[in-house]
């Protein structure tokens, strides 16, 4: 009887790795986007001459961590979908979307914002260009998409456990 209950509640290592990685990744993203960056903004970071360098260091390092997390999540989803036939295309698409968001943030948005911020810091008396507002809007749209897709994926696999 004891052996049956142990087998019934045992989850795979891939499922545990995916749940822990998604939980860490989403919570770190929320802390960065809703606590750290607003407090730096209200502390006057945008008025400093080297704010783009500080932003690039913060987001550049965090984006590499996001890439690693997205790779672990995609690998875990592929491994789980191989062993369980009812987990298929939906979870693979969501985890692929998470990887795409991480790639766009790392290799497109962050370098573009840094380059535009560097040009802006040379001309600190001018207001922020409209392009920077467009890039920030795109970044927060991708962040909302990431939190939504990650939350759905986390919910699916948490209920499965």
Q: Would you write out the chain's pLDDT as a tens digit for each of its 161 residues? A: 455 545 455 678 999 999 999 999 999 999 998 998 888 888 887 777 777 788 888 889 999 999 999 999 999 999 998 887 676 789 999 999 999 999 999 999 999 988 877 665 555 555 667 788 899 899 999 999 999 999 999 999 888 76
pLDDT at 85: 65
- CA-nearest of 48, 37, 29 to 98 is 29
pLDDT at 71: 97
Collapse the DSSP code of 123 into the 3-class scheme (helix H, G, I; strand E, B; otherwise coil) and give the result. coil
pLDDT at 74: 96
pLDDT at 77: 94
How many CB atoms sit inside 10 A of residue 44's CB?
A: 9
Place of tokens 């914002």: 113
The predicted model scores a pTM of 0.85
Helix and strand element counts for the chain (H, E): 7, 0
- CA-nearest of 11, 12, 10, 25 to 153 is 25
pLDDT at 3: 53
């Amino acid at each position: 009887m004891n052996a049956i209950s142990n087998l019934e509640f045992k989850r795979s290592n891939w499922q545990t790795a995916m749940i822990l990685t998604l939980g860490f990744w989403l919570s770190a993203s929320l802390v960065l986007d809703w606590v750290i960056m607003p407090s730096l903004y209200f502390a006057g970071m945008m008025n400093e001459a080297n704010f783009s360098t500080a932003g690039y260091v913060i987001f550049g390092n965090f984006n590499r961590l996001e890439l690693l997390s997205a790779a672990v999540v995609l690998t875990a989803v592929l491994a789980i979908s191989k062993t369980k036939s009812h987990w298929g295309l939906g979870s693979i698409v969501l985890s692929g979307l998470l990887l795409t968001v991480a790639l766009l943030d790392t290799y497109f948005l962050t370098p573009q914002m840094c380059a535009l911020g560097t040009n802006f810091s040379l001309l600190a008396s001018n207001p922020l260009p409209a392009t920077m507002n467009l890039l920030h809007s795109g970044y927060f749209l991708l962040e909302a998409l990431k939190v939504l897709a990650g939350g759905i994926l986390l919910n699916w696999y948490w209920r499965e456990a």
